[in-house]
Amino acid sequence: MRYMILVCVDESVEVSPEESLPTAWVQEMDGRGVRKLGSRLRPVSDATTVQVRDGEVLLSDGPFAETKEQIGGFDLLECEDLDEAIEVASKHPGAKFGTIEVRPLWED
Amino acid sequence: MVATLIRMTGDWDLAEECGQDAFAVALERWPRDGVPRRPGAWLTTTARNRALDRLRRGATEAAKLREGAALWPRHEADDGDGEGHADGDDGTVRDDRLRLIFTCCHPALPLEARVALTLRTLAGLTTAEIARALLVSEPTMAKRLVRAKGKIRNAAIPYRVPPAHLLAERTGGVLAVLYLLFNEGYAATGGADLMRHDLCAEAIRLARALVSLMPDEPEALGLLALMLLQHARRAARVDDAGDVVTLEDQDRALWDATEIDEGLGLLDTALGQDRAGSYQLQASIAACHASAASAADTDWARIAQLYGRLAPLVPSAVVELNRAVAVAMADGPAAGLKLVQALEASGALAGYHLLPATRADLLRRLERHAEAAAGYREALELASTKAERRYLTRRLAEVTEQGRPPSP
């Protein structure tokens, strides 16, 4: 079962690199074979949103949702079930200062 | 039976439908052919065969069929016309029911869905019955159940008893759902009646099932004991007009002695395991009340002490409020009032009618009638059931009467 985890953080909150960098987590989860892919994302100041309306491409600067917490990174997991995905997500350092959303991939 | 079918097929809707089908077949055949020797086993096998038939029919369901067949021991396969030889052994059925409880109460599901799923799949209530019991419309309840079953399937919420490192936490979650169910029946938050007995009875039945499935879990025993000790007072809690009768004024002859005895026995067994938890402590408090011959004989000092032990385990303002009441009984209303006022200052229970109602009761005992009346008026604005409102109105009338200067 594949899950995408979205690591949502408040970019205005200062967190030291020791607390926030998921290096050890990545190493552990890659080693276990549960993490297939993932990356930290550049801040929303570098984001562009794209919409097509009436055939016209509309661009705007910034993230799609004006919320306090923004997606700061993602990882694609291959887990046995939701309990394993929750366990993996709860070990991510971002869970301590941000919020992690666990979403199953749409697979038929 | 549904629990077993869910394990086999991994499909909740299919399991429920085939379970119903099996009953329909039984209604048709049993009067004609006689009731089989083991009706339960017959029903399970019939339902299983239905499920396998339906899975076979759907080509896209081939994977599920393989999974289902692999989970079902080969020697129990039979001729396929629904006349089963044997059920899974009792151990298998037991494990299936336990798995089902943990899946229904999985913390990734919204609490309201956990309660609804538990009533649907464990208690076997219909969607209409659950909607009525939980005071929502039937379409809303149907949607809630569909969404919950969808999430179980799509997010792969596991169908199993959690592994050891999660067991304590998840067991707590299951107990919380059952207690919520009981409380929704015992102190209904809506509707005309103070209690809804069907929900209480269902919660007790499910707690009994859980105890038989997890006999070594003292908190499950504690919860069942707590429910029984509270439920034993049901006939005395409401008078003929449907009004609340406080513990103090209840006719103890109306208490159900059989339920009290059973509750006390269960609590003893639980406490014997020496792993006290919040349900055992709450049951111990209920036991103090249940075993007092009269209100005046109540060991309030012990109750206050039990609340003191409960508070750190259940950091809740409601527990604090109850402790204040116990302290008022043990050490006098002034001591209790001090705790109530501290609680009010914290703002933790703003909007909860029992807070001003408790303050009013203590002030009434201190004969500060005008202040008591103000408290009852505040509580009246917040209380939601008619029975509670009638009680508060009566108390308000009393203190207003007593507060009046004697007529010349």
Give residue-wise pLDDT tens across range B107-117.
999 999 999 99
Q: Which two tokens stand for residue A15?
A: 């967190």
Pull the structure tokens for residue B146.
């569909």
DSSP, residue by residue, B117-176: HIIIIIS---HHHHHHHTT--HHHHHHHHHHHHHHHHHTT---SPPPHHHHHHHHHHHHH
- What are the residues whose beta carbons fall under 8 Å from the beta carbon of B190, sequence distance 6 or more? B135, B384, B385
pLDDT at B82 over 70: no
pTM of the model: 0.72
Interface test with A, best of B157, B167, B169 (most A CBs within 10 A): B157
Q: Which pLDDT score is estimated for B65?
A: 38
Structure tokens at B95: 């494990």
Q: In this predicted structure, what is the pLDDT of residue B285?
A: 97
Q: Does residue B108 sit at the A interface (CB-CB below 8 Å)? A: yes
Is B53 a residue whose pLDDT tops 60? yes
pLDDT of B152 higher than 50? yes
Q: pLDDT-based confidence at B333, cuts 50/70/90?
A: very high
What pLDDT does B192 receive? Answer: 54
**Cα(B198)–Cα(B123) distance, integer angstroms:** 11
Where residue B64 falls among pLDDT bands split at 50, 70, 90?
very low
Return the amino acid letter for B336.
Answer: G
- State how far residue A104 is from chain B, nearest Cα, in angstroms: 5
Predicted confidence (pLDDT) at residue A106 exceeds the cutoff of 60: yes
What is the C-alpha separation between B357 and A53, in angstroms, rounded? 59
Confidence of residue A63 (pLDDT cuts 50, 70, 90): very high
Shortest alpha-carbon distance between residue B158 and chain A (Å): 6
Inform me whether the C-beta atom of residue B150 falls under 8 Å from chain A C-beta atoms. Answer: no
* Mean per-residue pLDDT over chain A, rounded: 95
At residue B61, the pLDDT reads 44
Q: CA A80, CA B259: separation in Å to the nearest integer?
A: 44
Can you tell me the mean pLDDT for B212-241?
92
ipTM surpassing 0.90, yes or no? no
**Cα(B299)–Cα(B307) distance, integer angstroms:** 13
B155/A80 touch (CB, cutoff 8 Å), yes or no: no
Query: What band does B189 get if pLDDT is binned at 50, 70 and 90?
Result: low
Considering only CA atoms, which of B198, B256, B199, B197 is closest in space to residue B229?
B256
Does pLDDT of B199 surpass 50? yes
Tokens of B391: 């009680």
Separation of alpha carbons A61 and B363, rounded Å: 62
pLDDT at position B288, please?
96
Task: Label residue A47 exposed, middle or buried (CB < 10 Å: 0-12, 13-18, 19+).
Answer: middle
Q: Does A81 touch chain B (CB under 8 A)?
A: yes
The per-residue pLDDT of chain B, averaged, comes to: 83
